[in-house]
Amino acid sequence: MKKLATVFTLFAFFLLMGACKSDFNYYYYSKEETELLGQYLNLPELPDDYTVTFPSHLSNVGLFPRAVERDKAVLGRVIFYDKKLSKDGTVSCASCHKQELAFSDDKAFSDGVYDRSTARNSFALGSVANFSAYYGTDLNGSSAIRFFWDNRAETAADQSRGSMTNALEMDMTMHEIASTVESQPYYAPLFKKAFGSEVVTEELVLEAVANFVNAMGSFNSKFDAEANRSPVSFSGNFGNSVYNDGFNGFTPAENRGKNLYNANCSSCHSGNMGRPVLQLANNGLEANPTDEGVGSITGVAAEKGAFKVPTLRNIALTGPYMHDGRFASLEEVIDFYSTGIQNHPFLHADLKSNGQPKLMNFTAENKSDLIAFLNTLTDDALLADQRFSDPFKR
């Protein structure tokens, strides 16, 4: 019996020895890579997780983001903020897409290289739930949403190429971009992690940026929190699923604003802030538009003066508004839709009444309520998200 007790005491001792919790060491960069990157960049020791998971109110209506490849997004983040990738070394993607402004710019026309100005207002990357959910036909059969105010790009990679090579923006050729990336020492380890090799090609640069942009997601606003708790009252058209019932967490003004929005705006901009219902529309900014927008790309007469319809996430932060930044404030935008829509042969039907531009005639209280509602679309988490911030040591 004594022997048996000794045996069990011995093994209890072993058991005790192994009772400590696990302590694993995770590493991503080698020591040399850490030292090299540390000279230029503030990157976390382990890469950030760029997985995008939509809130239930979006996934419940069939909207899903595509998978983001983490290591490519890490590389894309550096490219996105790298001013060396412009002709005079003064402009990066982030110059016109500022995180604190939901990746938009507060100027009507952004500053490009050599003090040039861009031709249109910077599109807010934070105005969408997630760009990757725009690609291709979605589960509801809606077709892909395109990029740029004139819808000339099909993917985030195409869009990035367009900005990098635009003479008014970064003014580089893609060959120059690839060469510059190759010449910067901090890209070698990042490329190796992302693509398994240090070889830089134009396509890989764009793929990395696209992964970073596709990782951006704005779905943590007050609106989202309330929408997650609320049933969709009407779901006839996927893009125009709206919440007719009041949100418990909204103020009376915000709920009144939501009702006004549903009645007057959601048929174009979407009721659930998922994908815009319309790809493009002529919203009657001018009777004779100088900028023909989508029509200038497609040559289709009916599309002249039509522009991309955005979703309105973070709209309170992304002024000035419209493709040319003509309206400085939300009040001005609402005033325009209230009484200022101009007639145009191809003015969108939703903005017409008896063949004439619709007069929404918002009262002062209506305007105030609408703005209260639009403010619920602000996503503070996106603005402060370290994963999307400038990684460079300036």
Partner 1 sequence: MRPFPFLIAALILFSVGCVQHHYSPNFIQTPYLDKKGDIMLTAAVSGSPVSLNGDFHASYSPLKYGTVMLNYFRTSTSFEDANVFGGTTYSQTTKGYLVEGALGGYLPVSFGTGALYVGWGQGQMRNDFGIGRIADLRLQRFFVQPTFTFKNDWFRLGMGLRVVRLNFPTGSIDYRIEPGDIEKIQRLEKESPFWFPEMGGNIGVHFKPVTISASLVIVGAQPASEYGFDASNIGLGISLELNELFKKQDRKPVNEER
C-beta of residue 215 within 8 angstroms of C-beta of residue 52: yes
* Cβ neighbour number for residue 189 with a 10 Å cutoff: 20
Stretch touching partner 1 by CB under 8 A, among 20-28, 33-41, 213-221, 325-333: 20-28
Stretch touching partner 1 by CB under 8 A, among 6-14, 111-119, 125-133, 317-325: 6-14
CA distances from 32 to 25, 273, 288, 392 (A): 18, 45, 61, 18
- Total site size for partner 1, rule CB under 8 A: 29
65: three-class secondary structure by DSSP: coil
Measured CA to CA, the distance from residue 10 to residue 17 in angstroms comes to 11
Tokens read off for 83: 């001013």
Minimum Å distance from CB 282 to partner 1? 42
Q: In this chain, which of 1, 5, 20, 364 binds partner 1, going by CB under 8 A?
A: 20
Q: Residue 321's beta-bridge partner residues?
A: 327
Shorter beta-carbon distance to partner 1: residue 8 or 234: 8
Shorter beta-carbon distance to partner 1: residue 51 or 251: 51
Q: Which of residues 67-96 bind partner 1 (CB under 8 A)?
A: 69-71
Stretch touching partner 1 by CB under 8 A, among 15-23, 124-132, 284-292, 386-394: 15-23
Shorter beta-carbon distance to partner 1: residue 52 or 322: 52
Gyration radius (Cα) of the chain, Å = 25
Minimum Å distance from CB 304 to partner 1? 42
Q: In this chain, which of 1, 2, 23, 39 binds partner 1, going by CB under 8 A?
A: 23
Q: In this chain, which of 18, 141, 236, 355 binds partner 1, going by CB under 8 A?
A: 18
Closest CA to 137 of 64, 207, 58: 64
Shorter beta-carbon distance to partner 1: residue 14 or 355: 14
Closest CA to 335 of 349, 346, 321: 321
Minimum Å distance from CB 199 to partner 1? 11
Beta strands in 85-243 (DSSP E): none
Measured CA to CA, the distance from residue 344 to residue 282 in angstroms comes to 8
Q: Which of residues 26-65 bind partner 1 (CB under 8 A)?
A: 26-28, 46-47, 49, 51
Q: In this chain, which of 2, 21, 393, 394 binds partner 1, going by CB under 8 A?
A: 21
234 is a contact residue toward partner 1 (CB under 8 A): no
Measured CA to CA, the distance from residue 111 to residue 90 in angstroms comes to 9
166: three-class secondary structure by DSSP: coil
Measured CA to CA, the distance from residue 357 to residue 373 in angstroms comes to 25
Tokens read off for 284: 């009657």
Q: Which of residues 162-201 bind partner 1 (CB under 8 A)?
A: 193, 195-197
Residues of this chain that bind partner 1 (CB under 8 A):
4, 7-8, 10-11, 14-15, 18-28, 46-47, 49, 51, 69-71, 193, 195-197
